[in-house]
Structure 1
Amino acid sequence: MLRRNLLGISAACLAAPRAAAAGSRIQRVEIVRWKAGKSAADHLEIEAGGGRIGVFGPLGWGLPKLLAEDMAKLREHLLGKDALDRRVEFESLWKAFYAGKELSAYAAATDPLTGQNIEGTTRGGRHSPTGLRIMALSAVDNALWDLRGKIIGRPVYRITGGTQNRRRLDVYSRVGEGKDLGEARRQARERWEKGQKKQKWYFVFGPKDGKDGLKANLELVRVLREELPEATLMFDNHSMRFEIGVDWVVELGKQMAQYRPFWLEEPTAPEDTEGYARIKGETGLIIAAGEHHYTRFQIQRLLDRKCLDWVQSDPDWCGGISEWLRIAEMVSKHRGVKVVPHCDNFMTNVQCVASQPVSLCPMVEYNDAQTEQKMSYRTRVLRPVNEVIDTPAEPGLGPDLDRAKLEKL
């Protein structure tokens, strides 16, 4: 039997590329702006023979501009290549674009493009300049996976090389910020009654807000637990990820433990590995993180320090589905650690989770408002019912662009 690597490529295929059939050769790479109703957004399209088009989007975070700037080089690297050759993926693209700038530098807390040491630093925003470059190539990788699925005629999760055939996935829901405790209580109850038993809420205060901010965060936890004694409650933040204030976070964690949070998410800045270790060690809480960590090399630092319980690497941000699969394989070797990708694009996440065993990836994150908006360009919207989503049967990533209703700008 041929040995297969984590992408499902046989050793023989890696050693000797097959001759590409005309129908799988890449013929077009383009950013297309589509209008759906009053909304418009850029999508990356990669087309092979027979009119089969791999699509990824809508694109945000300034990625259309980055991809447009590199379009000539991207076409040079992709046009004429066999879309079914899985060596044409994120990592090979990175090496072609940034020769000598090894992503493994992240393992030593070094930015691979700038060469600067980033341990213990803050970004001043969600993504670093290097991270945005990784996200741009992630979009290419994901579009390639969509194209492969359409050529083969199967959903992506059935062609990743795994043996899983998960037709239904458990879901947890992102709810929102708890600025108004009365409104938070009402919304939590309303969602509970609609079947959302697993809810993630956001803190809006961080270390810079001192004792008053800490108290406000704790009040949110208390009110939600009081309202929903049996719920699975996760807590994320829109503030702590931009700061380093470990003492403050440790105190928050110790005090919120009495309310049985399922996890505390991104309690400090992504590059604050030492802070993660302290927070995990001194609070004993379940820690989730990874959406703002790029590639497996940044995740490995947290795993080595045993301070991460749920890895949230986002296939749209970490290096595409190809790199996400590498991360999943790496995490599978760490007993008790699980993977649940952050939800930037629900379709991509569903395919990733469905490709893995439930013991490693028990559930998928869902953001209702964001998913409705992003999938408004598609033939249908994926909507879970009672915290369960049916895995899409369509070839590729899922429901395709509904070109009949879209206007090309």
Structure 2
Amino acid sequence: MRLTDIRTFVVANPPPHFGGRYFVIVRLTTACGITGLGEAYCVPFAPHLVAQMCEDVFARYAQGHDPHDIETLWRRVYSAGFTQKPDLTMMAVLSALEMACWDIIGKAAGQPVYKLLGGRVHEALRAYTYIYPRPGDATDVYADPELAAERAATYLDMGFTALKFDPAGPYTAFGGRQLSLEELDRCERFGRILREAVGTRADLLFGTHGQMTAAGAIRLAKRLEQFDPLWLEEPVPPDAPEEMAKVARGTSIPIATGERLATKYDFQRLMDCGAAAILQMNLGRVGGLLEAKKIAGMAEARHIQIAPHLYCGPIVGAANVQLATASPNFLILESIEDWGGFHSAILKTPMQFEDGHVIPPTAPGLGIELDDEVALANPYTDTPLHLEMTQHPL
């Protein structure tokens, strides 16, 4: 079996854009006609340039090679250009290619990928969603705790038992910072009103995006502890795990992080510091499925859990499901609501979601197929990146 071709899709995610503005998807094909899908997450370059990067890396390191040789592909790409250091751009490209190889491997074996990663551990995967806005909202659900509590009731009726929100304010290229007293008060109000609304029916996941210094994060955590959140997410920027460890030592709230990290080397440093109790690797950035499985194993030895991150498209989502299904230390899976809307329309067979849980597919490979007509009918022609930070100090 040999890889012969690559095709890329830069797909606009229509309003309300939950999961980002666009998805960068690759399809690899073998000489015997088996295809596999992958997705690159949040590369800080224009998405069509990212698609060209995927094509270039494929031509240099994958074309003509056996897709089963994941370790060889990984080392060649990781070392490309005399690097051998975690690079978020290259690791996202590698993740897309590696993910597609696993899709091919599973199809060739007639097995879902999780059967090849150790087998099925979980029959259903508990999921959570952000508390998202809806058309017609009179206020901003990200800043209005009363509206967030009303929306939480809707999600509980859908079967969710965990909800995430981030009222801490904008994240900026000049963070972390100390939150203002107004921001701290708003965060505390969110915690109180949401806890009163959901009671013990749902865990509260307090999301942040590295907005704070360690000292500022501890100030916030002290206010939130009374509401018993399941986690405080990425309280400080991802470049200083030693600082995040200060937060972990300074609060009883578990720290979750990892969406902006790549490779086992980044995560080893994080774990060695004691910076997190829950790892949120993104399968479209971390270095692929096998790398994520290695990290999950490293975490298991330290009694650390995993909660795969998803703020991108359903290809990464499907890979997350494969990893979670085969991981004993899986905690919870991020969903974009119930995997409906465009995340469903772009797939020929949507992911199965039942009563707040994702049901792992039994189809071979990643268990999904792209609907090319839908993908091609939604090309991304705008200029903003997938996610962007405020460009000025706050």
Q: Distance in 1 between matches of 2:77 and 2:340?
A: 28
Which of 54, 57, 67 is the equivalent residue of 2:36?
A: 54
Q: What TM-score do you get using the length of structure 2 for normalisation? A: 0.81
Contact 2:38 2:95 in 1 (8 A): no
Between structure 1 and structure 2, the one with the greater Rg is 1
Q: In 2 relative to 1, CA 288–34 (structure 1 residues): closer, same or farther, beyond 3 Å? A: closer
Which of 300, 303, 310 is the equivalent residue of 1:343?
A: 310
Q: How many residues matched? A: 352
Q: Which residue of 2 aligns with 1:211?
A: 181
Contact 2:106 2:116 in 1 (8 A): yes
Which of 345, 350, 359 is the equivalent residue of 1:376?
A: 345
C-alpha displacement at 1:153, in angstroms? Answer: 1.6
Q: What TM-score do you get using the length of structure 1 for normalisation? A: 0.78
Identity between Structure 1 and Structure 2 (%): 22
Q: Distance in 2 between matches of 1:260 and 1:40?
A: 35
Pair 1:190-2:154 in alignment: yes
Q: Which residue of 2 aligns with 1:169?
A: 125
Q: In 2 relative to 1, CA 398–248 (structure 1 residues): closer, same or farther, beyond 3 Å? A: same
1:307-359 residue CA offsets vs partner (Å, 9 max, x unmatched): 21001111111111121111111111103x111111143211101101212xx
The CA RMSD over aligned residues, in Å, is 2.7
Contact 2:24 2:50 in 1 (8 A): no
Q: In 2 relative to 1, CA 323–369 (structure 1 residues): closer, same or farther, beyond 3 Å? A: same
Q: Which residue of 2 aligns with 1:19?
A: none
Pair 1:179-2:179 in alignment: no
Q: Distance in 2 between matches of 1:163 and 1:372?
A: 30
Q: Which residue of 2 aligns with 1:120?
A: none
C-alpha displacement at 1:165, in angstroms? Answer: 4.8
1:256-281 residue CA offsets vs partner (Å, 9 max, x unmatched): 11111111111111012232121111
Task: Name the structure, 1 or 2, with higher relative contact order (CA <8 Å, separation 6+).
Answer: 2
Amino acid at match of 2:123: R
C-alpha displacement at 1:235, in angstroms? Answer: 0.6
Question: Residue 392 of structure 1: SS of its match in structure 2?
Answer: coil
Q: Distance in 2 between matches of 1:59 and 1:273?
A: 22
Pair 1:227-2:183 in alignment: no
Q: Which one is further off, 379-388 or 149-158?
A: 379-388
Q: In 2 relative to 1, CA 91–215 (structure 1 residues): closer, same or farther, beyond 3 Å? A: farther
Pair 1:401-2:365 in alignment: no
Q: In 2 relative to 1, CA 63–138 (structure 1 residues): closer, same or farther, beyond 3 Å? A: farther
Q: In 2 relative to 1, CA 73–392 (structure 1 residues): closer, same or farther, beyond 3 Å? A: closer
Q: In 2 relative to 1, CA 287–342 (structure 1 residues): closer, same or farther, beyond 3 Å? A: same
Q: In 2 relative to 1, CA 283–56 (structure 1 residues): closer, same or farther, beyond 3 Å? A: same
| Residue segments in structure 1 that go unaligned for 5+ positions in a row | 1-23, 104-111, 113-129
Which of 79, 82, 92 is the equivalent residue of 1:135?
A: 92
Contact 1:205 1:217 in 2 (8 A): no
Q: In 2 relative to 1, CA 278–407 (structure 1 residues): closer, same or farther, beyond 3 Å? A: closer
